[in-house]
Structure formats: C-alpha cells, structure tokens
C-alpha cells in the first residue's frame, strides 16, 4: 500500500548519518573487514558483531549497496570526527560571492541616479556583484528604451571598475542587468 503525501506535509526527515552501525545493520551474511584493514570474508552478522565487541570497536556498514553488504570494524567516534573535520575544511575553502541589488526607475532624476550609482560603485569595489533593476509602471511599459538608456548610463559610469556579466531583455515589468567587479578586492 502506497501512502501519498500531501503537498503541504513536510518531507520525512533525512538520516543524519549515512552509515549504519552495530545493531542497525540487519542483513546477513556480510563481507567483513577487520580493524587492521584485512578482509576476513563473508560471515554471518552475529559473528561480525561478536568480533567487533571482542576488539572493543564498532561494526560500521561502509558498502550498503554491495551484495553482500561490506562492514568494517573501526572506531565510529573517530570516523565521525574525521568526516566532520573534512566538512569543516571544505566549508572554509568555499567562497560565496554576494549579489547586491540597486533599483532604478526609467525617469530617474540625475541626483538619485548619482547616489544609487555611487552606492553600486562601493559594492563593486568591495568585490560584490551588483544586480541593476529598472522597474516600469503602467504607461512607462510603452517606452522600454528609457530603461535601456538608464542601464547604458550605469555601464558607462562604472566601466572603470566593472564589466557586464549578464543583461536580459524585458522580464515582465522590469529590465535586469548584472555587473561583476573587474579586479579582485584588496583586503
């Protein structure tokens, strides 16, 4: 019997650990690798658990998709610590580029344009990408070339520190352009 889940119901919680350990391993027989890394062979699950208890370590399923499943005798706490350490290191090396947004109107005043463009310049000099959006209202939609003029003016003002990464046409009631900094920021 298949139970359908409604759209608004939450997904079932994912298991935190991708390994089954000790009593969580149900299949028998299993291919056993002992604590020194030598392959013992295919043994019943009870024998594998007994060997792990003798040594004072855990029985961890490392190859659940194999037939028979591959289990290894090792220190579960140590393995978990090593995995968390690797995850921390990889998170440290990740570099996320922040995207800031500056919004314009097609009939923007010169002073407002200068203020918003100087704010965008500050974002670009700190190494962030900037998304420029020109919003249109009602009758302004008849003249999309006004929005193009605003974006061209922005490109001309910021040409010394930024390059156009993407520029789309009309997207509903708005025009969108993304600028990326030319050089990496110096901190």
Instruction: Identify whether 136 is part of a domain.
Output: yes
The pLDDT of residue 13 is 44
Rounded Cα distance, 161 and 36, in Å: 58
Tell me the pTM: 0.48
The range of the structural domain enclosing residue 61 comes to 20-90
Residue with tokens 């605003």: 150
> Is 108 in the same domain as 150?
yes
Instruction: Identify whether 6 is part of a domain.
Output: no
Rounded Cα distance, 17 and 27, in Å: 18
Q: How many CA atoms lie within 13 A of 19 on its CB side?
A: 19
Rounded Cα distance, 59 and 18, in Å: 14
> Is 39 in the same domain as 68?
yes
> Is 85 in the same domain as 60?
yes
Distances in Å between the Cα of 90 and the Cα atoms of 13, 77, 87, 96 are 24, 20, 5, 13
> Is 122 in the same domain as 75?
no
> Is 57 in the same domain as 107?
no
> Is 140 in the same domain as 107?
yes
Instruction: Identify whether 177 is part of a domain.
Output: yes
Q: Is 144 exposed, middle or buried (0-12, 13-18, 19+ CB in 10 A)?
A: middle
The pLDDT of residue 6 is 52
Tens of pLDDT, residue by residue over 44-103, are 888 888 888 888 888 888 888 888 888 888 888 888 888 888 888 888 777 777 788 888
- The rounded mean pLDDT for the chain is 79
**DSSP H/E element including 112:** helix 110-125
The pLDDT of residue 17 is 53
The pLDDT of residue 145 is 80
CATH classification at residue 64: 3.10.20.80
Determine what percent of the chain is predicted with pLDDT higher than 70. Answer: 88
Determine what percent of the chain is predicted with pLDDT higher than 90. Answer: 0
Q: Of the candidates 40, 60, 90, which is a domain's last residue? A: 90
Instruction: Identify whether 14 is part of a domain.
Output: no
Distances in Å between the Cα of 84 and the Cα atoms of 78, 81, 100 are 10, 5, 32
Number of structural domains, the chain?
2
């Amino acid at each position: 019997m298949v139970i359908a889940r409604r759209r608004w119901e939450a997904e079932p919680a994912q298991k935190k650990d991708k390994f089954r350990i000790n009593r969580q391993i149900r299949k028998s027989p299993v291919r056993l690798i002992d604590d020194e890394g030598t392959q013992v062979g295919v043994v019943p699950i009870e024998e594998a658990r007994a060997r792990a208890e003798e040594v004072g370590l855990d029985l961890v399923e490392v190859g659940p998709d194999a037939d028979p499943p591959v289990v290894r005798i090792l220190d579960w706490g140590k393995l978990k610590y090593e995995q968390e350490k690797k995850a921390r290191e990889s998170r440290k090396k990740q570099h996320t580029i922040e995207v800031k947004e500056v919004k314009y109107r097609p009939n923007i005043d010169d002073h407002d344009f200068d203020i918003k463009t100087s704010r965008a310049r500050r974002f670009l000099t700190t190494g962030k990408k900037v998304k420029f959006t020109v919003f249109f209202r009602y009758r302004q939609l008849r003249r999309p070339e006004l929005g193009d003029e605003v974006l061209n003016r922005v490109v001309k003002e910021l040409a010394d520190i930024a390059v156009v990464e993407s520029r789309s046409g009309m997207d509903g009631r708005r025009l969108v352009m993304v600028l990326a900094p030319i050089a990496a920021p110096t901190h």
